[in-house]
Structure 1
Amino acid sequence: MSHTAEWKTRVYLFEEDGTTDVRVELDTGTTKLTGRGTARCNPTDADVPEIGDELAAARAMEDLGTQLKVLAFGDMEGAGALPRRNSAPWATASE
């Protein structure tokens, strides 16, 4: 079975006063999900916006990944296939 799909993703970054908020929107064509992440600069550290962008974006993508796992596990259950017991939605691929 061959399958090709294109999913559209947008990443929005907002930085103000040492806090970076990121929103990642995923549109699969049938489902829309939004991941969110935040990073705050320690007051004793130099304010380097790129670091906040990277950390907040990573957290938003992790949030989105967890949502995708929950969605996939629900679809698996609906199809009659149960996920492995150690495949909790928050589990990483190496677990």
Structure 2
Amino acid sequence: MPHTLEWKVRLHLFEDDERTTKAHLILNTGTTELTGHGTAHCHPTDANVPEIGDELAAGRALNDLARQLLKTADRDIEGMGAPQPHGREVAG
């Protein structure tokens, strides 16, 4: 029973005057929408390289979203009455 889906992801990056970059990531699965957030701060003594802030903030937003997606999958597995496999990490 193969199937194909397309999930859409939108990533918005914002940099403020205080050398902080924020990422807002939205995953739309067609049936649900999850939002991840990430932030990066440039230390005052470091060179201001916006690309690094973008990468850090986006990576952190992706991590946030991944944790949420794993939690959702765990809840769905539990809802199906499936036992928790031994040694499986519960998303936290």
The aligned runs of 1:55-66 (5 Å cut-off) are 55-66=56-67
Aligned positions, number? 90
Deviations 1:23-66 (A, max 9, x none): 00000000100000000001110010000000000000000000
Q: Please, what TM-score do these two structures have when normalized by structure 2?
A: 0.92
The aligned runs of 1:1-95 (5 Å cut-off) are 1-16=1-16, 17-84=18-85, 85-90=87-92
Shift of 1:87: 1.4
Query: What amino acid sits opposite 1:2 in the alignment?
Result: P
Q: Please, what TM-score do these two structures have when normalized by structure 1?
A: 0.89
RMSD value over aligned CA atoms? 1.1
Query: What amino acid sits opposite 2:24 in the alignment?
Result: R
Q: Which runs of 5+ in 1 are unaligned?
A: 91-95
Distance 1:83 1:33 in 2: 24
Is the 8 Å Cα contact of residues 12 and 22 (structure 1) preserved in structure 2? Answer: yes
**Does the residue aligned with 1:56 lie in a helix, a strand or coil?**
helix
Q: Which runs of 5+ in 2 are unaligned?
A: none
